[in-house]
């Protein structure tokens, strides 16, 4: 990336999204961050990112509302003159057996984890096509490649993200735009921390057993993936060196999907 770029990263005021935002800011990329944390926390995050010498704005677009997602893109284009990179990262989770899974939770997970990526990509593509350059990075999951019990909506959404990524890549392959999915293994984010007690309840085991025997059982490294590793992966996918990489679902999962 030889000139100043601008990225929108959804769900970027905590967890994986914030880690990617940190990496992008350090690389000199202007940012639009998005999330649901309290205003004071968001401002602290925004100000911290700007210490890297980039401009950072916050947009509180509701990832369940296509109109707000489109408005966020238009605001970013007005502010920065264009959006070069989008990272569709926003996500929520709920853990329950299918026959006990609340319909409202299913609808929310599909909307936030899958449909929001479609809406932001749709809004961003015209500008990327006009400039002849763009990078679309969808944060999927190892659960976009394999399944686990009690996570029907999340697994369905993440498999959908992988399929969406492939379709986008094929449609824009001749226009200087790439689309790729990063498939992390378990990262000790607030989202993962919140699901530990739910998984313990669903399986009838202790929280310590969830970490040891469920979360990290399938990661041969027996270590959580770090947000810094994911940021480095996202930055590589934005580089000229990755221009021939498109339509892939790239595991960063400690060996989980090598089984």
pLDDT digits (tens, 9 = 90+) for 73-99: 999 999 999 999 999 999 999 999 999
Among residues 241, 42, 6, the alpha carbon closest in space to that of 134 is found at 6
Contact (Cβ atoms closer than 8 angstroms) between residue 55 and residue 77: no
Cα 231 from Cα 52, distance rounded (Å): 15
Return the percentage of the chain with pLDDT > 70, whole number: 99
Please say whether the structural domain 6-188+225-251 has been given the CATH code 3.40.800.20: no
pLDDT at 136: 99
Residues catalogued as catalytic: 154
HEC-encoded secondary structure of 89-158: CCCCCCCCCHHHCCHHHHHHHHHHHHHHHHHHHHHHHHHHHHHCCEEEEEECCHHHCCCCCCCHHHHHHH
- Is the pLDDT at 191 greater than 80? The verdict is no
pLDDT at 157: 98
Among residues 136, 165, 6, 164, the alpha carbon closest in space to that of 80 is found at 6
Q: Where are the domains of the chain?
A: 6-188+225-251
pTM for the whole structure? 0.94
Instruction: pLDDT band for 3, please (50, 70, 90 cuts).
Output: confident
């Amino acid at each position: 990336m030889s000139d100043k770029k601008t990225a929108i990263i959804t769900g970027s005021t905590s967890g994986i999204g914030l880690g990617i935002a940190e990496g992008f800011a350090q690389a000199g990329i202007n940012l639009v961050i998005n999330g649901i944390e309290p205003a004071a926390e968001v401002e602290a995050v925004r100000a911290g990112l700007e210490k890297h010498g980039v401009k950072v704005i916050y947009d509180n677009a509701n990832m369940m509302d296509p109109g707000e997602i489109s408005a966020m893109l238009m605001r970013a284009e007005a502010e920065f003159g264009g959006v070069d990179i989008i990272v569709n990262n926003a996500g929520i989770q709920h853990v329950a057996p299918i026959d006990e899974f609340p319909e409202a939770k299913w609808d929310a997970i599909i909307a936030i984890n899958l449909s929001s990526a479609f809406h932001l990509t749709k809004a961003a593509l015209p500008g990327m096509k006009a400039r002849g350059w763009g990078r679309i990075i969808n944060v999927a999951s190892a659960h976009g490649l394999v399944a686990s019990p009690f996570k029907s909506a999340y697994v369905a959404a993440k498999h959908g993200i992988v399929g969406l990524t492939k379709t986008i890549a094929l449609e824009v392959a001749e226009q200087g735009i790439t689309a790729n999915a990063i498939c992390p293994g378990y990262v000790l984010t607030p989202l993962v921390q919140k699901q530990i007690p739910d998984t313990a309840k669903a399986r009838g085991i202790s929280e310590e057993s969830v970490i040891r025997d469920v979360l990290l059982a399938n990661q041969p490294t027996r270590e959580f993936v770090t947000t810094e590793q994911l940021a480095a992966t996202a930055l590589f996918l934005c580089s000229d060196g990755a221009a021939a990489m498109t339509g892939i679902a790239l595991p960063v999962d400690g060996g989980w999907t090598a089984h």
